[in-house]
Structure 1
């Protein structure tokens, strides 16, 4: 029975080695990333820490960089054809991701702007309502009529001159802040 267990363990170990084909790299933010998918094209070769044996990412990254505009005459014709063929493939794969990401970012910004605008409109409507009420209360206080209100105990009390002056001062502050 022991040889069967050893054989089973060896088979399990051998099959798990295929799952060890992992990539490891450092992204642009300095974080270590582990994945079974090759790193994006914008990750420089020096930031790739580990990759599976026989991966094609090594060949693509070891291709010479595209020559600068001033160096194009000095570059060999064969080398420029290789870099020209490699550049569109990497640019096309990265550009599709960037466009989708930029579109989502624009939509999120538009939604945030719409939300902020709705909040500002709601606040403006509340200020307009407060202004209208304060002006109405000021007109009542300025009319000279006796004003009564109900206190916390539910009793009716008439405002005296000191209370009337304090109420006029409070309403003047509301008008000053909300009626612009």
Structure 2
């Protein structure tokens, strides 16, 4: 492919993508965190008038807080029309109930998984503790302990090997038997 053709296609795709973002967003404002917000709904009442960057054609100016302390100079008919238009609008709390429910459900699932994992670890530690105690009892009993080496041959543990194994088993008991 020709490099110029590819670059033109890329430019058109980027331009089309940004158009798609703003095509349905009729309102544009800067929120209290300083981020640009695009929406098909009017901004919340706590957004200052100076922070509203774009509004749909024919949208009335709402009685949003003004940046200065001076009273807003607006025709009397506009203020009453804005009050009527805002009276029927739903109050936005800033929280999405479905999103909050999904977050709660995800947190509950995560807590359940963590609890199951903790129980699994606790069971493994209890099993290790029991096996270590049995092994240490065998070491202290004075019976001959046989092991199998790498070649598959049976060997009798000598005193130094018994001491090392007893020390290892005691470390397991100290860590897992709590």
1:41 equivalenced with 2:44 (yes/no): yes
How large is the RMSD of aligned CA atoms in angstroms?
A: 3.3
1:179 equivalenced with 2:155 (yes/no): no
Give the TM-score taking structure 2 as reference length. Answer: 0.64
Bigger fraction of residues in helix = 1
Unaligned residue ranges in structure 1 (runs of 5+): 1-15, 66-78
Query: Are the aligned partners of 2:47 and 2:65 in contact in 1 as well (CA < 8 Å)?
Result: no
Counterparts of 1:83 and 1:124, CA distance in 2: 63
Residue pairs, 1:20-59, within 5 angstroms: 22-35=26-39, 37-41=40-44, 44-45=47-48, 46-56=50-60, 59=61
Residue pairs, 1:83-98, within 5 angstroms: 86=86, 89-91=89-91, 94-95=92-93, 97-98=95-96
Residue pairs, 1:11-22, within 5 angstroms: 19=23, 22=26
Residue pairs, 1:64-103, within 5 angstroms: 86=86, 89-91=89-91, 94-95=92-93, 97-103=95-101
Counterparts of 1:21 and 1:105, CA distance in 2: 26
Unaligned residue ranges in structure 2 (runs of 5+): 1-18, 67-78
Report how many residues are paired: 142
In the TM superposition, residue 174 of structure 1 has moved relative to its aligned partner by 0.4
Counterparts of 1:98 and 1:162, CA distance in 2: 68
Counterparts of 1:52 and 1:156, CA distance in 2: 88
Structure-2 change in CA distance of 1:116 and 1:42 (3 Å): farther
Query: Are the aligned partners of 1:24 and 1:33 in contact in 2 as well (CA < 8 Å)?
Result: yes
Structure-2 change in CA distance of 1:23 and 1:85 (3 Å): closer
Counterparts of 1:54 and 1:85, CA distance in 2: 13
Question: Partner residue of 1:70?
Answer: none
